Amino acid sequence: MSDERVTFELSKEYLELVEQAIAREDASFIRETMDGVNPADISQLLDEVDGERAKYVLDVLNNEIGAEVIEELEEDTRRDFLEEFEPHEIAEYLVEMESDDAVDIINDLPVKTREQVIASINDPETAAHVQELMRYDEDCAGGLMAKEMIVANINWNVKETIEEIRRQVENVERIYSVYVVDDNYKLKGRVSIKKIILSGDRVKIQSIYDEDIIHVETYMDEEEVADIMQKYDLDAVPVLNLQGKLVGRITIDDIIDVITDQAEEDRQLMSGISSDVEEDDTIWAISKARLPWLIIGMVGSTLGALTMGAFEQELDKYVTLVFFIPMLMATGGNVGIQSSTLIIQSLANRSNFEESLTKRLIKMLFTAVLTGLVLAVIAFIIVVVWKGADQMQFGFVVGTAIIGVTLLASIMGTITPLILDKLDVNPAIASGPFITTTNDILGIVVYLAIANLLLP
């Protein structure tokens, strides 16, 4: 197969061809086969290549494409990858990025390298933007925003505004609207590109701009910003400082990253993983993230065994009781997780018209009673069919225990996330191992206590 016929494809075969081209320093092969390819695909390919060889690929591509590829790399991969570059080389790529993306990359660098990179940025405007944004925490609106945006003075006419758009557009990847400010750079509103195009050259911006504009402040938490953009279906939102001056904008791609990261964190917490890990992390890092809740689960199981030991005489007398313990534990765990998941979803999508805690608990109790009754009937039928009609007493015990376990698990699953939320602790931690372990212990206590009361 000749090089001319080879095209980019995310496959092992193409990866081998790229590695061979790197080995023989065939820059033309890399340029031709990667011409017009989405940077996200190139970054995925480079994830499979070690840092030195990946650097060669970026060296033969132009800086604009290289910058986009670096942006698309996973954080851990990018951190290792950038160790192959000199500070001035990193600075050359940062000039091609929007300021918020540049700051994200700089913040991942060691302190010394960070200072060297900033000093090597040869574009004064980019350097100024980067230094300003680094003052903000990365998890607030100021840390999310980019400085690049289209701004028009309220006293300009359409012709002046169009000229300004042409001047600024090279630095702005996506133009959603033009922000209108006064002479003190205080935000007055926005004007759509459509209105600008349809208006005459001499029409004043003051007569066509829209005052009704949603904005956020630099200090606002990233999750609060995400909620606002989701609620009002915004592609971009302007950011103001405490003086009401326009200092930047946040675009939807940054908010998607926030939402994705938060969902991933909640998923890991709900499954009992205590820190942010990925499949390609070290064995120790993955094990360390998993162990805390697994140890807690073992402690909980031990407490469950001790609880069963307290009812040893009943279990010796009625061995049949043991057969249904897994059913009780599984039911309690599932009901608890279902209840907590619904509460966590409601906390993540807060409304101004939320039901009171009392109403939530009443609704939860009625739901638990209904589901508990249905499950109790099914459990009773299972026991009678399995053990025979002469063992109905065990059916009543299991059925009654199912109702009790369902009620307790629903209460735990509802109240625990609400309490954690009031304490400013991520309520997602209430699900998974925490709820299931707690409900296992409660389920055993309820089951054996009911058996002790109902069986002769």
Give the pLDDT of residue 85.
92
pLDDT of 373 higher than 80: yes
Range 268-294 average pLDDT: 65
DSSP codes of every residue in 358-408: HHHHHHHHHHHHHHHHHHHHHHHHHHHHHH-GGGHHHHHHHHHHHHHHHHH
pTM: 0.66
DSSP codes of every residue in 219-260: TSBHHHHHHHHHHTT-SEEEEE-TTSBEEEEEEHHHHHHHHH
Alpha helices in 311-324, H assignment, sequence order:
312-317, 320-323
pLDDT of 205 higher than 80: yes
Strand partners, 249: 146, 238
- CA 104, 108, 110, 116 torsion: positive or negative? negative
Given a contact cutoff of 8 angstroms between Cβ atoms, the answer to whether 18 and 45 are in contact is yes
Domains of the chain: 3-135 (1.25.60.10), 151-258 (3.10.580.10), 283-454 (1.10.357.20)
Give the pLDDT of residue 6.
67
Q: Which amino acid is at 107?
A: N
Q: What is the DSSP letter of 140?
A: B
Q: Looking at 174-178, 230-234, 296-300, which range is the least confident one?
A: 296-300
Q: Looking at 7-16, 248-257, 282-291, 330-339, which range is the least confident one?
A: 282-291
Give the pLDDT of residue 102.
92
pLDDT of 154 higher than 90: yes
Give the pLDDT of residue 221.
92
Query: pLDDT grade, residue 270 (50/70/90)?
Result: low
CA distances 289 to 78, 300, 331, Å, are 22, 19, 27
Query: pLDDT grade, residue 1 (50/70/90)?
Result: very low
Range 128-151 average pLDDT: 91
Give the whole-angstrom CA distance, residue 180 versus residue 194. Answer: 15
Range 441-455 average pLDDT: 83
Query: pLDDT grade, residue 178 (50/70/90)?
Result: very high
Listing from the earlier edge strand, what are the strands of the sheet with 178-181? 151-153, 178-181, 187-191
Give the whole-angstrom CA distance, residue 353 versus residue 367. Answer: 21
Give the pLDDT of residue 2.
41
Q: Looking at 37-51, 141-155, 254-268, 400-414, which range is the least confident one?
A: 254-268
Give the whole-number percent of the chain exceeding pLDDT 70. 89
pLDDT of 274 higher than 70: no
Range 179-190 average pLDDT: 95
CA distances 249 to 130, 229, 270, 353, Å, are 14, 12, 33, 30
What is the rounded average pLDDT for all residues in the chain? 84
CA 403 from centre of chain: 36
Q: Where is pLDDT greater, at 182 or 439? A: 182
Range 367-372 average pLDDT: 89
Contacts for 107-111 with beta carbons within 8 Å, 24 or more apart?
A: 107/134, 107/138, 108/75, 108/78, 108/79, 108/82, 109/79, 109/82
Q: What are the tens digits of pLDDT across the range 41-87?
A: 999 888 888 888 889 999 999 999 999 999 988 887 888 889 999 99
Residue (of 63, 109, 115, 102) closest to 84 by Cα position: 109
Place of tokens 């230094």: 131
DSSP codes of every residue in 191-204: E-HHHHHHS-TT-B
Q: Looking at 12-26, 109-123, 216-230, 377-391, which range is the least confident one?
A: 377-391
Give the pLDDT of residue 273.
58
Give the pLDDT of residue 429.
65
Rounded (10°) CA dihedral 182, 186, 192, 198: 0
Give the pLDDT of residue 140.
92
